[in-house]
Structure 1
Amino acid sequence: MNAATALNPADLLDAHTLEVRDLRNLLGQFATGVTVITTRTADGRNIGMTANSFSSVSLDPPLVLWSLARSAPSLGDFLDASHFAINVLGADQHGLSSQFARPASDKFAGVSFSEGKAGMPVLDDVVAVLVCRNVTQYEGGDHLIFLGQIEQCRHSDAEPLVFHAGRYRVAAQHPAL
C-alpha cells in the first residue's frame, strides 16, 4: 500500500456510528466473485438469485455457505429446498448476474441451463457449479446463512466475474507474479 492510500489506526471509527450506506461501501472494499444461486421449488418452478456472499467452509466434509436477506421473496423457497446450486459466473456474464438480481416472474427466460442432482437448475457455460444438499441455516442478523454440502460439481479455467466497490470487475494476474 502506498502512503497516499495507507490507513492510519487513529482514523478508525466505531462501527455503530456508521450509516448503512457507509457500511455497504466499507464492506464493498472486499472483492468477491459473483454467483447465481438456484433451486427448484416443490411445485417445480426454477428460481434463482445473484449473490456474492459465498464462501468455502470445509474440505472434509465439503461444505460451503452463502447468505440470503430475510426480506428476499425467495427465502421460503430456499428454506424448503432439499438442494441448491451455486453457479460461479465468468467475466463476460455480468448480464446474467443482472438478470438474476432483478425481480422477474421468470428469471430463467432465455437462459441456457440443465438439470443437476435432485433436479437442480444448473446454468450452462459458467466458471464453476456446486450442487449442494441444503444442510442447515444459521441466524445472521438481517440474513440467514445457508450451509450446503457439495454433492456434485464441475469447474473450468475461465476467468471469473468479480464485484468490488459496487462495480463489476475482471480479475487479472498480478504483474509481480
Structure 2
Amino acid sequence: MSHSSTQSLRRSLGMFATGVTVVTTRDAEGEPVGLTVNSFNSVSLDPPLIVWSLSLSLPVRPVFEACTHYAVNVLAADQEAVSRQFASRKPDRFAGMDWHPGEHDVPLLNGCCANFVLRNTHMQPGGDHVVFISEVLWFTRSERDPLLYFGGAYRGLSPLA
C-alpha cells in the first residue's frame, strides 16, 4: 500500500467514532506506566473478555507484554487533558494525575466513566501491533459522558433531535 493509500485508510478508519481510554500497569520496578488507547472493545460477556492493541514501536510495549494485570480507564468528556498527557512523550505521564492503586495494585485513574482491572491472558501478533485479549476481573462505572475521538479530533456526545 502506498503512503497516500495508508494515509487515506487512516482517515477513513478515523470516521469510526471511538471512546478514549488510558491503559495502565506497573513496570518491573513498580513504577506506574500508562498510555492513551482508542482500540479498546468488548469481546465476550461469558467469559468477560476485552480486546485492545498496542503498536510494536512503542517503548512501553515490553512492559505491557510482561505484566500480569493492567487497567483500562475509560475517559470522561472532561478528561481530554488526561488523554493528551498519556499520549505525550513525557517521561512521567502520571505527574499531576488523580489516581489510586486498584485491585492487583494497578493504577486506576479517578473521574473516569469506567475502570476495568484485567488479567493479561492472551497476546497475538497483529501486523504492526500486538493484540491483547484479557479477562475482566473487576470493574466500576460512573454515569458520566464519555470522551470520544472522531475524524482526528476529540469530541463529546450530542443528543439526537
TM-score tier (shorter): over 0.9
Task: Return the TM-score normalized by structure 2.
Answer: 0.96
1:98 equivalent among 84, 88, 91: 84
2:132 equivalent among 146, 159, 171: 146
CA deviation after TM superposition for structure 1 residue 173, in Å: 2.4
- Could you say what secondary structure the match of 1:111 adopts? coil
Report % sequence identity: 43
C-alpha distance in 2 between matches for 1:81 and 1:73: 14
Q: Residue 164 of structure 1 corresponds to which residue in structure 2?
A: 150
The structure that has the greater radius of gyration is 1
1:53 aligns with 2:39: yes
C-alpha distance in 1 between matches for 2:127 and 2:78: 33
2:5 equivalent among 19, 39, 50: 19
Q: Residue 64 of structure 1 corresponds to which residue in structure 2?
A: 50
The 4+ residue runs of structure 1 with deviation greater than 6 A are: none
CA deviation after TM superposition for structure 1 residue 42, in Å: 1.9
2:27 equivalent among 41, 47, 68: 41
Give the root-mean-square deviation of aligned CA atoms: 1.0
Q: What residue ranges of structure 1 are gaps of 5+ in the alignment?
A: 1-15
Q: Residue 5 of structure 1 corresponds to which residue in structure 2?
A: none
- Could you say what secondary structure the match of 1:49 adopts? strand
Residues paired across the two proteins, number: 160
- Could you say what secondary structure the match of 1:36 adopts? strand
